[in-house]
Chains A and B, each alone.
Chain A
Amino acid sequence: MKIALSMPVSAAPALPGAAPLITTPIVSPGYWGTVWAQLRRDPIAIAAAAVLLLLVMAALLAPWLAPADPYKASMIKRLLPMGSAGHWLGTDELGRDLLTRLMYGGRLSLLMGVVPVAAAFVFGTSIGLFAGYVGGRVNMLIMRTLDIFYAFPSVLLAVAIAGALGPGLSNSLLALTLVFVPQVVRVAESVTTQVRALDYVEAARMSGASAFSIIRVHVLGNVLGPIFVYASGLLSVSMILASGLSFLGLGVKPPEPEWGLMLNTLRSAIYLNPWIAALPGAMIFITSIAFNVLADSVRSAMELRT
């Protein structure tokens, strides 16, 4: 630490003709800058990010890259094995090209992984900030109410809400968001309560800052980091749960291509062509492991600085 600090100061004057460098202030990369620099040097994080980028690109560019039409069925080409001519990964139970459907399937599956977490991030942070900042009885009331949702195992809660609302894409997104909101609120509330008690927040209030500007400047800056880390860990949970709901028939409806639903419909074919049935699940696994590995790297990069 000491060496790192004294390095630029002692080294700079020794260089002839480098005098202007000393007068210009050294630009600090800032908190997020150092986190970014940390991540860039982490080969595992880069690999995970590359895998995710590849999956996202394949899903986004599916209409241009995919070899076939995702809905075009063919009675004579049902359940072709992997490596068939014209169908690299074979065909599904209705004779549709599997590679195409896996690429298109990424659209809904990735969307269902990201949207509930993003929505829970926004709503959960708002509620948590409010509860933590207001404090007192209101905080008690909000947090004790949310404790009830903690008494539900998350898969059960998601299945129960999706089951009660009925199958469909928007209902399963809503169910997952409702599962994640209480968890995000809990993180946001505990950090807000901690920050609120700090002296500099007290000083800001004394100097006449409004509640809004205190939250925006002082609280939000401290709260966003931990929530971001927490939410990044939820991405893979959301993917697995969302595809799980589709697998149970509670999510996306056929004939939409979606990995969980494909796993469900191909399951009836495991005695005829077993390994094809495993492909959509392998996609979920790869995506979720990439999400988790990246989230772990982000977490350790951020903790190094805090």
Chain B
Amino acid sequence: MIFYILKRLLYAVPIALGVTLVAFMLVHLAPGDALNAIAPADAPADVIEALKAAYGLDRPLPVQYGLWLWRAVQGDLGTSIASGRAVAGEVLGAVSNTLMLAGVASLVGVLVGCVLGALAGYKSGSAIDRLATVLSVVGVSIPHYWLGLVLTIVFSITLGWLPAMGAGSDGSAAWLWDWQHLQYLVLPAATMSVIPMGIITRTVRALVAEMLNKEFVVALRARGLGEGAVFRHIAKNVAPTVLAVAGLQVGYLMGGSILVETVFSWPGTGFLLNTAIFQRDLPLLQGTILILCMFFVALNLVVDILQPLIDPRMVRA
């Protein structure tokens, strides 16, 4: 087991390094360079040179990458060109907002998906099975930014029950777990939860239906085990795959929250990415992408390590 964890950790290191390289280089794909955002187009040559030196843009690319990586490891992601504040601080504040949104959405989506998928798997061909099938197709087909818009139209504009955008009446300064703040979370989280809900329902349904046909289930029943005990056996066999799928989904929601955050003006990483892209704030763009991807890499690692705890056979595979 320890050997397995070490192997996984070692495997994650080159991936993480590769991600830093891609996050760094992506920004240099851009036509023009970082200076466009700070220096006016008619700035004299010596001013541009001075600015280049100040931001370290006059060095060769590999050196820039090395320096950037060295500082990033120490928690310094540079200074935002647009706001003049430290990128690390801005990203961390936004990440906590996104994490809250994506966390609640995945929790709801995974729970509903598991229950619905298990029911559909048990009662194959029934009305609830058909409902689950329809829901899972809708879940993967729906453009969720549009679903957010429709929910806003229904619950905010027509019914007036919930606020349409933002994360709090006081300008999102401090988040509290009371209704005053929670009401802002309902619509974006509901919108986001549809994606994992559809995929988890489909996965659980297929797995449970498959398990029910396995010989070990027949054997358990033949030995006189109650349905509850049989279900525990099935759940244990289904859990590792569901965990892997759910882990991926949490990562996708974190990274893909930009669309839902834009619809609801949620002050998370998506909002930050938007600012960074349209104001050509390259340090902010690099920093946000880097943090989100590192989160995804870490999440995959956690899933890889958790899986064999549920199913020890995986260590040998």
Task: Say whether A associates with B.
Answer: yes
A→B interface (CB under 8 Å): 144-145, 147-149, 151-157, 159-161, 163-166, 236, 240, 243-244, 247-250, 263, 267, 270-271, 274-275, 277-278, 281-282, 284-285, 288-289, 291-293, 296
Q: Which residue of A lies closest to B262 (CB)?
A: A248
Q: Which residue of B lies closest to A156 (CB)?
A: B255
Asked if A263 contacts B29 (CB within 8 A), the reply is no
Q: A156-B256, A165-B29, A277-B153 are contacts. A289–B137 as well, Cβ < 8 Å?
A: yes
Asked if A288 contacts B157 (CB within 8 A), the reply is no
Describe B's contact surface by its main secondary structure: helix
B31 in the interface, Cβ–Cβ < 8 Å? yes
* Of the residues B273, B296, B297, contact of A159 by C-beta under 8 Å: B273
B252 partner residues in chain A, CB cutoff 8 A: 153-155
B237 in the interface, Cβ–Cβ < 8 Å? no
Q: How large is the interface on B (under 10, 10 to 19, 20 to 34, 35 or more residues)?
A: 35 or more
Q: A151-B296, A152-B19, A289-B138 are contacts. A161–B26 as well, Cβ < 8 Å?
A: yes
A165 partner residues in chain B, CB cutoff 8 A: 29-31
A240 partner residues in chain B, CB cutoff 8 A: 141, 143
Asked if A153 contacts B30 (CB within 8 A), the reply is no
Q: Could you list some 6 contacts between A and B, CB below 8 A?
A: A151-B16, A152-B255, A154-B255, A247-B259, A248-B274, A263-B145
B→A interface (CB under 8 Å): 14-16, 18-19, 21-23, 26-27, 29-31, 137-138, 140-143, 145-146, 149-150, 152-153, 157-158, 251-252, 254-256, 258-259, 262-263, 273-274, 276-278, 285, 289, 292-293, 296-297, 300
Q: Shortest distance in angstroms between A82's beta carbon and chain B's nearest beta carbon? A: 14
Q: Shortest distance in angstroms between A245's beta carbon and chain B's nearest beta carbon? A: 9
Asked if A292 contacts B140 (CB within 8 A), the reply is yes
Q: A152-B296, A281-B146 are contacts. A292–B22 as well, Cβ < 8 Å?
A: no
Please, how many angstroms separate the alpha-carbon atoms of A244 and B255 in the complex? 14
B158 partner residues in chain A, CB cutoff 8 A: 274
Q: Shortest distance in angstroms between B17's beta carbon and chain A's nearest beta carbon? A: 9
A282 partner residues in chain B, CB cutoff 8 A: 146
Q: Which residue of B lies closest to A277 (CB)?
A: B149
* Of the residues A148, A164, A296, contact of B27 by C-beta under 8 Å: A164
Asked if A263 contacts B146 (CB within 8 A), the reply is yes
Asked if B149 contacts A288 (CB within 8 A), the reply is no
* Of the residues A144, A149, A277, A292, contact of B141 by C-beta under 8 Å: A292
Asked if A164 contacts B149 (CB within 8 A), the reply is no
Q: Shortest distance in angstroms between B32's beta carbon and chain A's nearest beta carbon? A: 9
Among all A-B residue pairs, the 3 with the closest Cβ atoms: A153-B255, A281-B146, A155-B256
Asked if A270 contacts B157 (CB within 8 A), the reply is yes
Asked if A270 contacts B152 (CB within 8 A), the reply is yes
* Of the residues A249, A263, A288, A293, contact of B142 by C-beta under 8 Å: A288
10 additional contacts, CB 8 Å, given A156-B258, A164-B29, A244-B145?
A: A145-B18, A148-B15, A153-B251, A153-B293, A156-B293, A160-B26, A270-B149, A270-B152, A275-B153, A278-B149
Q: Which residue of A lies closest to B31 (CB)?
A: A166
Please, how many angstroms separate the alpha-carbon atoms of A161 and B140 in the complex? 23
B142 partner residues in chain A, CB cutoff 8 A: 285, 288-289
B300 partner residues in chain A, CB cutoff 8 A: 151
B141 partner residues in chain A, CB cutoff 8 A: 236, 240, 285, 288-289, 291-292
